[in-house]
A = this chain, B = another copy of it.
Amino acid sequence: MLDEYVSRTYRTEVRPSVEANLVKDKAAIVGIGQTKFMRNSERDELDMACEAIKAAVEDAGLSMEDIDGLVAFTLERLAMPVLISCLGIPNLRFTNEISFGGGASCATVLHAAAAVVTGVANYVVCYRSLNEASGHRYGRGDGYARQLTAAPSPHYGYHWPFGFLTPLAWAGMYGKRWMHEYGVTAEQIGWYAVVLREYAQKNPNAIFYGKPMTHQDYMEARMIVEPLRLFDCCVDTDGAVAIIVTSSERAKALKQRPAYILAAAQSVVTEAEIQTSYNRPIISGLPDHWYMGQELFRIAGVTPKDIDVAQIYDPFSIGALMQLEELGFCGRGEAAAFCEGGDRIRVDGELPINTSGGLLSEAYIHGFNLIAEGVRQIRGTSTSQVKDAELVLVTGGPGVPTSGLILRR
């Protein structure tokens, strides 16, 4: 079974490596900024984006005049000329958008890094701003369908007419198969959600700060889409997060300890459909993450064992657990057992995960809050600081073209 899995869905041979990766260690994240994370911002996304970007620029010790690059998501609703005029950025010489939602998060950093390393730009802002709680909610099938029909994605035609409309439903299909195939139990999965809620209790910026949750609370919460219960799901959030990328050379002169980008990678594997790649021979894995991990560790020259703390994109608990397997932190089917009892993923465990509370318990800013937390771990300023964290892994969303980072102190 596993053999078929690897040889058919995955490619056993990754194609010839590029000779040298110039992004490696040559760029750094030097500023982070964010708004409050809210359930109802009562603000415009433009306004929140400006606040987060200004905070990031100030955090880096730069001025707005220094910024000459901007990278966002294609899902970002703001027109870039409006944004730069509001911010007072004189002009840009590098700007692009990364396809789709959460899978794009770390890819923004990859593209920004390529720009600063090649001297195309000096200081690139990457950001995400969304009213995902009070505004358009991806979890509502109607709005999601309307948005996605803008692009001809023929596969949705097989799903929507039958009411199979939401990311949760699509993810549940993978989750159910994964649990069946490896004998995973809800009790095991629950520990992942419980530990993240514990982290949120230490983080005053987390949506679920001051709202602890026991394993019993998790188990008793209502089922949303089998096998995903309420607290398996990320928390819809209003807010914005921004980061600043520059060259490692320039980074040294700035205000904060740089989070060096040891490796950055982006990946989409053939036979992908956005969130519904059920035509692949096996659906209990995430080939895009597998390939991204192969690239990431190859470029970085380190192994999963070297990672001190991980920020794993968790739109749903199971999506994060499957990534642990694809990235080589666990064997196939072993991630749920790895999290059982929670100790291994707590702050003094083998692999502390999502130390700010993650998308489940801190905020859902499409993965950008995970990048910010990764930087805080490198700086030593997390509310759940991993002692002497040297290497931090950050990933983008599963089920879509994805991306990842390894940050180095």
Stretch at the interface among A80-88, A189-197, A209-217: A80-88
A-B interface, 6 closest residue pairs, ranked by CB to CB distance from nearest? A18-B119, A81-B272, A22-B118, A91-B269, A96-B96, A79-B153
B-side contacts of A45, CB under 8 Å: 152
Residues of B within 8 Å of A77, CB to CB, are: 150-152
**Interface pair A92/B46, CB less than 8 Å apart:** no
**Segment among A219-227, A260-268, A305-313, A333-341 that sits at the interface with chain B:** A260-268
Check: A253 CB closer than 8 A to any chain B CB. no
**A44 CB contacts on chain B under 8 angstroms:** 152
Work out how many copies of this chain go into the complex. 2
Cβ contacts A328-354/B at 8 Å (1 or 0 each): 000000000000000000000000000
Q: Which of A11, A77, A81, A94 has the most B CB atoms < 10 Å from its CB?
A: A81
The proximity string for A residues 242-272 relative to B, scoring 1 for CB distances below 8 Å and 0 otherwise, is 0000000000000000000000011111111
Min CB gap A43→B, angstroms: 13
Contact of A267 with B96 in the complex, beta carbons under 8 Å = no
**Residues in chain B near residue A155, CB distance under 8 A:** 82
- Cα distance A263–B112 when bound, in Å? 19
Query: 5 A-B Cβ contacts within 8 A?
Result: A15-B68, A21-B120, A77-B150, A82-B153, A118-B118
Q: Chain A: residues with CB nearer than 8 A to chain B?
A: 11, 15-16, 18-23, 44-46, 65-66, 68, 74, 77-82, 84-85, 88-99, 107, 110-111, 114-115, 117-122, 150-155, 265-274, 288, 291, 295, 401
